[in-house]
């Protein structure tokens, strides 16, 4: 993975260090070159000036000397000739001339060397030639003329023979020398012009060098930005957004300097490493370490995916909970429990194919999710397959742990999305709970109605815990009469719940809940107390009346139950023989030792025991003699029935009971026809809407007062 970045970084990229050094070096060289060239130019110019002015000085000095020599060359000679013209005058003048003409020759030599080959040289040579002519003419004059002749000429006032040949060439020489001066000055102008050109050149050169330097600086800045700053910013951005969560393109800086490319490579490598770590962590966070199945979050993620998936069929979720797993832990130890979970995971994995997601949600809870397409009933088939796969024993060091599970099934709505996933899992959980409550080792399919009912029940269950303190219970009393006379024998106390929002709730709606939660124990105690209090009141007018009180099996087994009954009877001064404890056939048959003991104890105290709803439970006719009861209450399904078979069953029951000396009460006599069918049984008691519905306490009391006078039946 690293090679990709490394190979790129290796291709020769200039380093920032070398780029920087190059840039600085270019600058230094450039500036040094500019400085050197400018310096050389100035030096050259200065030199030129110095040379020019030196030359000018030499030339001027030499020319001055020459010109003075020229002016003075004849003066002493003539002076002598014209003023002292003696006998040896010519010889003396000659001497003086020779002296001075040597100065002239020397002046020419000096001027010649001062001028060199420069301008004015030609003019000087011409002047020298003319001078030679003058000199030759003067010399020949000395040769040709004697002192005497000269004196004669001078005395006659004639033209000077001596010099007349000289003046003209002498003038010529003067002109030539002037030309020399002129040429020298002209040459000087050229030199100045040249020096000027050098100055201009140096200035231009410096200016251009500056332009080039600025250009180089701009290019360097551009390169710096392209190779360093921009790539660095890009790498910086990439580094700043490193979080390892998402797949990102590696940052590429092909034009950057080596250091920045190295930095980019490190950032890219770090990104890859972080991503790998992150995905490892993600996987770990979504996997259950014990079973290697997805855990709760892994399952949730998979479920989201299925619900939002493209083909959007319906998704079924199985919520699986092992039955009695706690027992395995408690009896075989936690290591054994872990082993069971691992085996269950293997079995689950084996039975769920690729398209299904199996997970361990935690503890002994597992879940499976799968697409059910358009046929939701497929879900139950899968649930059964899973249930059978998981069920079986697990060998733990020779001990066999029996494994089974309860499964709740929930199927998503057609338009469900991942937003519904929690709800779906919750529904499956709920259905699992229902499967548990219906006997375990089974599956249950979630339905909204069931959910609503159970929820209502649960709500009611919560309210129930407070109903007693809030005094929300009341007792209604239903008369029990002698047949066929209708004479009042007593009442059965029937509880009602005055629910603050639901109104009067019948016992079928909450007794089961109270039994489940245990609330039935204090409620039952309250019923017994209220019923006895009421009966005691009635006894003032009609002391023969009895009171039936329904008791749940759960109450019977509570220690101290019998003691409680005794105390209640004593508290209200009711004789035990007037209390009728009604237990169901089922209770009597299956009750525990404690229950049986309680019944026996009550009976020995003189309390009457009635077998309620007789005929609905066990076909227990043959056990009837063994049951510890004084009375049977025949279920209203027989009493109401127009079916001859039911009637004959009822007939057998009544005859058998009568033969065993048990008192018989027919429940649910709703009309005269029901009453007629019972006529042939002779002395039995009855209870039903035909005589009276369960009624509030005050009405029951009023009825009790009148009962001493006449039977209820004659009233309606
Ligand atoms: P149960 O002991 O069999 O009580 C008789 C039920 O039949 C009463 O219903 C009564 O109203 C009803 N009934 C009476 N005559 C007729 C009739 O002619 N036709 C019809 N269709 N029904 C008739 P209720 O009051 O709703 O009580 C239902 C059950 O609740 C009782 O059945 C009893 O098992 C239980 N129960 C009532 N009060 C208590 C109590 O205080 N403790 C316990 N543990 N259970 C109670
Ligand atoms: Ca009853
Ligand atoms: Ca009954």
What is the pLDDT, as a whole number, of residue 85?
Answer: 60
- pTM score > 0.85 for this model? no
Shortest-distance Cα residue to atom 33 of ligand 1:
550
Task: Evaluate whether 325 touches 391 at the Cβ level (below 8 Å).
Answer: no
Given strand 314-322, what is the order of strands in its sheet? 357-362, 365-373, 314-322, 405-411, 443-445
pLDDT band at 715 (very low <50, low <70, confident <90, very high): very low
Among 218-227, 357-366, 701-710, the range scoring the smallest mean pLDDT is 701-710
Name the residue of 491, 505, 507, 524 whose CB sits within 8 Å of the most ligand 1 atoms, as the mutation to test its pocket. 507
Q: Which residues surround ligand 3, an ion (CB under 5 A)?
A: 612-613, 667
Q: Is 689 in the pocket of ligand 1 (CB under 6 A)?
A: yes
Is pLDDT at 63 greater than 80 in this prediction? yes
What is the pLDDT, as a whole number, of residue 257?
Answer: 85
Name the residue of 481, 511, 713 whose CB sits within 8 Å of the most ligand 1 atoms, as the mutation to test its pocket. 511
Shortest-distance Cα residue to atom 38 of ligand 1:
494
- Give the model confidence (pLDDT) of 37-48 as tens digits: 788 878 887 887
Shortest-distance ligand to the CA of residue 548: 2
Between residues 281 and 137, which one has the greater pLDDT?
Answer: 281
SS (H, E, C) 229-254: HHHHHHHHHHHHCCCCCCCCCCCCCC
Q: Is 479 in the pocket of ligand 1 (CB under 6 A)?
A: no
From the CA of 506, how far away is ligand 1's center (Å)?
A: 9
CA 246 to chain centre: 10
Cis omega (within 30 of 0) on the bond before 484?
Answer: yes
What is the pLDDT, as a whole number, of residue 426?
Answer: 95
What is the pLDDT, as a whole number, of residue 188?
Answer: 73
Taking the CA of residue 674 as reference, the ligand 1 atom at the shortest distance is 18
From the CA of 639, how far away is ligand 3's center (Å)?
A: 11
What is the pLDDT, as a whole number, of residue 86?
Answer: 65
Between residues 278 and 546, which one has the greater pLDDT?
Answer: 546
What is the pLDDT, as a whole number, of residue 4?
Answer: 45
Please state the φ and ψ torsions of residue 293, each to the nearest 5 degrees. -85, 160
Q: Is 494 in the pocket of ligand 1 (CB under 6 A)?
A: yes
What is the pLDDT, as a whole number, of residue 340?
Answer: 95
Is pLDDT at 10 greater than 60 in this prediction? no
Task: Evaluate whether 367 touches 425 at the Cβ level (below 8 Å).
Answer: yes
Q: Is 507 in the pocket of ligand 1 (CB under 6 A)?
A: yes
Is pLDDT at 713 greater than 50 in this prediction? no
Taking Cα atoms as reference points, which of 617, 666, 607, 601 lies closest to residue 640? Answer: 666
From the CA of 330, how far away is ligand 2's center (Å)?
A: 42
Between residues 158 and 461, which one has the greater pLDDT?
Answer: 461
Among 140-144, 315-319, 511-515, the range scoring the smallest mean pLDDT is 140-144
Q: Is 584 in the pocket of ligand 1 (CB under 6 A)?
A: no
From the CA of 476, how far away is ligand 3's center (Å)?
A: 15
Q: What is the mean pLDDT of the chain?
A: 86
From the CA of 494, how far away is ligand 1's center (Å)?
A: 6
Among 120-124, 311-315, 391-395, the range scoring the smallest mean pLDDT is 311-315
Determine the average pLDDT of the residues in 528-542.
96
Shortest-distance ligand to the CA of residue 686: 1
Share of residues in the chain with pLDDT > 90 (%): 41
Taking Cα atoms as reference points, which of 406, 353, 412, 357 lies closest to residue 383? Answer: 406
What is the pLDDT, as a whole number, of residue 625?
Answer: 77
pLDDT band at 3 (very low <50, low <70, confident <90, very high): very low
Is pLDDT at 484 greater than 70 in this prediction? yes
- Give the model confidence (pLDDT) of 342-365 as tens digits: 999 999 999 987 668 999 999 999
Can you say whether the dihedral through the CA atoms of 106, 111, 113, 117 is positive or negative? negative
Shortest-distance Cα residue to atom 8 of ligand 1:
494
From the CA of 19, how far away is ligand 1's center (Å)?
A: 103
From the CA of 676, how far away is ligand 1's center (Å)?
A: 23
Instruction: List the Cα angle 668/670/676 in 5-degree steps.
Output: 100
pLDDT band at 560 (very low <50, low <70, confident <90, very high): very high
From the CA of 463, how far away is ligand 1's center (Å)?
A: 22
Between β-strands 473-482 and 488-499, what pairing exists: parallel, antiparallel or unpaired? antiparallel
Is pLDDT at 609 greater than 50 in this prediction? yes
Is pLDDT at 154 greater than 90 in this prediction? no
Between residues 48 and 203, which one has the greater pLDDT?
Answer: 203
From the CA of 586, how far away is ligand 3's center (Å)?
A: 12
Cα–Cα separations (whole angstroms), residue 14 to 26, 269, 328, 368: 16, 22, 72, 60
Determine the average pLDDT of the residues in 460-485.
93
Is pLDDT at 621 greater than 90 in this prediction? no
Among 136-140, 225-229, 274-278, 699-703, the range scoring the smallest mean pLDDT is 136-140
Share of residues in the chain with pLDDT > 70 (%): 92
What is the C-alpha separation between 442 and 432, in angstroms, rounded? Answer: 9
- Give the model confidence (pLDDT) of 253-270 as tens digits: 888 888 888 889 988 898
């Amino acid at each position: 993975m690293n090679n990709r970045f490394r190979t790129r970084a290796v291709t020769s990229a200039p380093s920032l260090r070398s780029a920087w050094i190059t840039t600085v070096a270019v600058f230094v060289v450039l500036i040094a070159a500019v400085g050197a060239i400018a310096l050389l130019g100035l030096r050259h110019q200065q030199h030129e000036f110095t040379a020019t002015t030196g030359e000018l000085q030499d030339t001027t000095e030499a020319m001055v000397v020459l010109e003075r020599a020229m002016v003075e060359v004849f003066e002493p000679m003539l002076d002598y000739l014209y003023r002292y013209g003696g006998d040896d005058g010519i010889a003396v003048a000659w001497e003086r001339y020779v002296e001075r003409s040597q100065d002239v020759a020397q002046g020419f030599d000096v001027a010649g060397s001062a001028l060199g080959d420069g301008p004015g040289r030609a003019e000087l040579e011409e002047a020298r030639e003319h001078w030679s002519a003058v000199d030759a003419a003067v010399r020949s004059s000395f040769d040709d003329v004697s002192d005497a002749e000269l004196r004669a000429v001078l005395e006659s006032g004639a033209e000077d023979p001596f010099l007349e040949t000289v003046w003209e060439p002498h003038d010529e020489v003067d002109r030539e020398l002037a030309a020399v001066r002129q040429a020298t000055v002209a040459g000087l102008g050229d030199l100045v012009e040249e020096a000027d050109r050098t100055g201009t050149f140096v200035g231009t050169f410096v200016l251009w060098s500056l332009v080039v330097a600025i250009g180089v600086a701009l290019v360097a800045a551009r390169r710096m930005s392209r190779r360093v700053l921009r790539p660095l910013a890009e790498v910086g951005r990439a580094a700043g957004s490193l979080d390892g969560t998402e797949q990102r393109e590696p940052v590429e800086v092909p034009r950057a300097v080596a250091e920045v490319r190295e930095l980019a490579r490190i950032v890219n490598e770090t990104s890859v490493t972080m991503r790998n770590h992150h995905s490892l962590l993600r996987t770990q966070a979504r996997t259950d370490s014990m079973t290697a199945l997805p855990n709760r979050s892994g399952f949730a993620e998979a479920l989201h995916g299925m619900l939002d998936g493209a083909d959007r069929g319906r998704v079924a979720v199985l919520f699986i909970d092992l039955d009695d797993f706690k027992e395995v832990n408690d009896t075989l130890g936690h290591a054994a429990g872990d082993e069971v979970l691992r085996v269950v995971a293997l079995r689950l994995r084996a039975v769920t194919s690729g398209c299904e997601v199996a997970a361990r949600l935690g503890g002994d809870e597992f879940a499976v999710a799968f697409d059910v397409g358009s046929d939701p009933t497929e879900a139950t088939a899968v649930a059964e397959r899973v249930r059978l796969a998981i069920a079986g024993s697990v060998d733990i060091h020779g001990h066999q742990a029996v494994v089974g599970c309860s499964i709740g099934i929930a199927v998503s709505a057609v338009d469900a999305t991942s937003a519904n996933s929690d709800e779906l899992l919750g529904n499956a959980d709920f259905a699992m709970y229902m499967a548990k409550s219906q006997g375990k080792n089974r599956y249950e399919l979630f339905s909204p109605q069931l959910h609503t009912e159970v929820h209502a029940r649960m709500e009611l269950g919560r309210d129930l815990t407070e109903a007693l303190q809030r005094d929300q219970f009341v007792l209604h009393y239903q008369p029990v009469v002698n047949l066929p006379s209708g004479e009042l024998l007593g009442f059965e106390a029937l509880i009602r719940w005055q629910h603050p929002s639901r109104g009067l709730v019948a016992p079928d709606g909450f007794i089961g809940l109270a039994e489940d939660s245990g609330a039935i124990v204090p409620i039952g105690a309250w019923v017994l107390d209220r019923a006895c209090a009421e009966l005691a009141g009635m006894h003032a007018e009609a002391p023969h009346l009895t009171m039936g009180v329904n008791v749940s099996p759960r109450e019977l087994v509570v220690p101290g139950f019998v003691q409680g009954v005794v105390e209640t009877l004593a508290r209200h001064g009711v004789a035990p023989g007037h209390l009728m404890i009604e237990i169901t056939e089922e209770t009597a048959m299956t009750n525990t030792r404690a229950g049986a003991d309680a019944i026996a104890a009550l009976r020995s105290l003189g309390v009457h025991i009635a077998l309620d709803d007789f005929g609905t439970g066990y076909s227990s006719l043959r056990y009837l003699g063994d049951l510890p009861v004084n009375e049977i209450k025949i279920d209203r399904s027989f009493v109401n029935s127009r079916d001859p078979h039911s009637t004959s069953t009822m007939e057998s029951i009544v005859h058998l009971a009568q033969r065993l000396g048990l008192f018989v009460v027919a429940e649910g006599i709703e009309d005269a026809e029901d009453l007629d069918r019972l006529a042939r049984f002779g002395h039995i008691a009855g209870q039903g809407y035909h005589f009276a519905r369960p009624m509030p306490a005050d009405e029951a009391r009023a009825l009790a007062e009148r009962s001493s006078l006449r039977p209820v039946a004659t009233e309606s």
